[in-house]
């Protein structure tokens, strides 16, 4: 850990040394366009907004959208490149309590890959209209997947720390 | 596209030229241990098995598991490094129909990041016991996230092509 990283962390946060080299590479396969240009403007969570957002897929991958229009919901994976990757304990400002990185959906994590479940409104060429995002305008897209309720939906799921922290 | 790639694809499949360089790097932050050593042994989907699987997190990130034990379900992201990344149209053997890559959960995709929703059974040190995986033993782990039913569960979701293909 270097001085700059130590200096940047808040009380209650803990950083670790990251591996010297990445193990694999990802391609940015498109960009997500949202109404939010600054972190402070983003909705607190994805169901807090019914804003229609646009997913602009790199046209080279457009054929990969065949049959996607038959899906009511999609899983989007995207890259949150503005956050530190070395924090294992965090104190998110809006909770004010120290939590483990893997108990949070914070963008600060070793691999800053966000996952959002979105409702698909329509597709035109390599462009999708969706609802259910809370990320910054221009966020790099990593993947689009069909959402299968049979394996992806767990309405009974609970997050104990979240319930208790109210 | 080079000859080798063209040679390797099946009828109904289409490959594209990938970008020359990756845009970002990921770290393998652990390994997933499952009972399945070969693709043909993996369950057809994750709810097809109640096998207990083990997630072995790199101990350097162990502090990041604080509060994770209070979650009933987790989202795991992992790297499916055995699949080609250049296919935009695929004909999965068990469906026999040409589909777009982004309408499938196939490991063959530009960024081979799989997402699985698992039930958490327990945590001991940097090791988690979970149910709900269908991946190969030794699969590299990318991320662990809390599953929030409020944003991640969409029981009403449908995948038209899948229903129609029965």
**Mean pLDDT, contiguous 10-residue spans, chain B (166 residues):** 53 92 97 92 77 97 97 97 92 81 96 97 98 94 97 95 62
Per the CB < 8 Å rule, is A14 touching B159?
A: no
pLDDT level of residue A3 (50, 70, 90 thresholds): very low
Q: What is the DSSP code string of A125-160?
A: TTEEEEE---PPTTEEEEEEEE--HHHH--TT--BH
Nearest to B102 among A23, A64, A164 (CB): A64
pLDDT at res. A164 = 46
Q: Is the distance from CB of A146 to CB of A71 less than 8 angstroms?
A: yes
- With contacts defined as CB-CB under 8 Å, which chain B residues touch A160? 67, 69-72
Q: Is B28 a member of any domain?
A: no
Q: Which domain holds residue A142?
A: 3-11+34-148
Per the CB < 8 Å rule, is A26 touching B23?
A: yes
Q: Is the distance from CB of A116 to CB of A135 less than 8 angstroms?
A: yes
Q: Is B166 a member of any domain?
A: no
Average pLDDT in chain A: 90
Q: Is B74 a member of any domain?
A: yes
Q: Is A64 a member of any domain?
A: yes
Q: CATH number of the domain at A99, please.
A: 2.40.30.70
Structurally, chain B folds into a number of domains equal to 1
DSSP state for residue B6 in the 8-state scheme: H
Q: Is B100 a member of any domain?
A: yes
pLDDT at res. A92 = 77
Q: Is A24 a member of any domain?
A: no
Q: State which residue of chain B sits closest to A120, comparing Cα positions.
A: B157
pLDDT at res. A91 = 87
* pLDDT digit string, tens, across residues A66-102: 999 999 999 999 999 888 999 999 987 766 789 999 9
pLDDT at res. B5 = 46
pLDDT level of residue A44 (50, 70, 90 thresholds): confident
Q: Is B49 a member of any domain?
A: yes
pLDDT level of residue A4 (50, 70, 90 thresholds): very low
Per the CB < 8 Å rule, is B117 touching A22?
A: no
Q: State which residue of chain B sits closest to A68, comparing Cα positions.
A: B103
pLDDT level of residue A42 (50, 70, 90 thresholds): confident
Q: Confirm whether the ipTM is greater than 0.90.
A: yes
Q: Answer yes or no: is pLDDT of A166 > 80.
A: no
pLDDT at res. B149 = 96
The verdict on pTM exceeding 0.80 is: yes
Task: Give the whole-angstrom CA distance, residue B1 versus residue B15.
Answer: 7
Q: Among B22, B31, B64, B125, which would you mutate to test the A interface (most chain A Cβ atoms within 10 Å of its Cβ)?
A: B64
Strand-pair partners of A74: A118, A146
Per the CB < 8 Å rule, is B147 touching A154?
A: yes
pLDDT at res. B60 = 97
Q: Answer yes or no: is pLDDT of A144 > 80.
A: yes
- With contacts defined as CB-CB under 8 Å, which chain A residues touch B21? 25
């Amino acid at each position: 850990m270097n001085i700059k990283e130590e200096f940047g962390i808040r009380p209650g946060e803990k950083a670790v040394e990251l591996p010297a080299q990445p193990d694999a590479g990802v391609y940015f396969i498109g960009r997500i366009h949202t109404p939010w240009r600054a972190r402070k403007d983003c909705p607190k969570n994805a169901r807090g907004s019914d804003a229609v957002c646009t997913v602009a897929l790199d046209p080279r991958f457009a054929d990969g959208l065949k049959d996607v229009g038959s899906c009511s919901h999609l899983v989007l994976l995207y890259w949150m490149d503005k956050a530190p990757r070395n924090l294992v304990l965090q104190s998110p400002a809006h909770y004010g309590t120290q939590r483990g990185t893997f108990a949070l959906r914070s963008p600060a994590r070793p691999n800053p890959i966000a996952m959002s479940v979105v409702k698909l409104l329509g597709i035109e060429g390599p462009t999708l209209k969706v609802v259910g995002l809370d990320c910054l305008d221009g966020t790099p897209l990593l993947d689009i997947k069909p959402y299968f309720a049979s394996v992806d939906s767990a309405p009974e799921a609970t997050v104990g720390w979240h319930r208790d922290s109210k």
